[in-house]
Homo-oligomer: A and B are copies of this chain.
Amino acid sequence: MDTQQAYRELARLCKVLAHPTRLQILDILRRGDECVCHISAVTGKRQAYISQQLMILRAAGLVAACREGLNVFYKLTDPAVLPLLEEYLGKADERHRPEQCRCPKCTGTLSESPCSERR
């Protein structure tokens, strides 16, 4: 009875996805890698809270972190969630650019592709 294991694993994945803020983070990251402060600015949530949710996503293997100087950039690591997001949230359009964001990507002071950014 190994299918039980499959149910448990899929349930664990769904549990991680069953959270509006975490979904929004994934939605942000499918537009490109972003640092914590940018995610915080886009969502309007405090940094500590975002860090918490990122930890959960990281533990589930959905995202990975890599440090770039002072900032930590996150990227999607599980390509299987992309079709799910597309089906329910639509195609990813352009990147968000909040007013008050001071991250290197938003201010244009990025020191060339952070941690081998995809595409």
Contacts and interface: CB of A to CB of B under 8 A. Distances in A.
Interface string A12-41: 111101111111100100000000000000
Contacts of A24: 3-4, 7
Most buried by B among A6, A14, A27, A80: A14
A18 B18 contact: yes
Q: Which interface class (under 10, 10 to 19, 20 to 34, 35 or more) fits A? A: 20 to 34
Copies in the complex: 2
Contacts of A80: 87-88
Nearest to A4: B20
Interface of A: 3-4, 6-15, 17-24, 27, 80, 83-84, 87-89
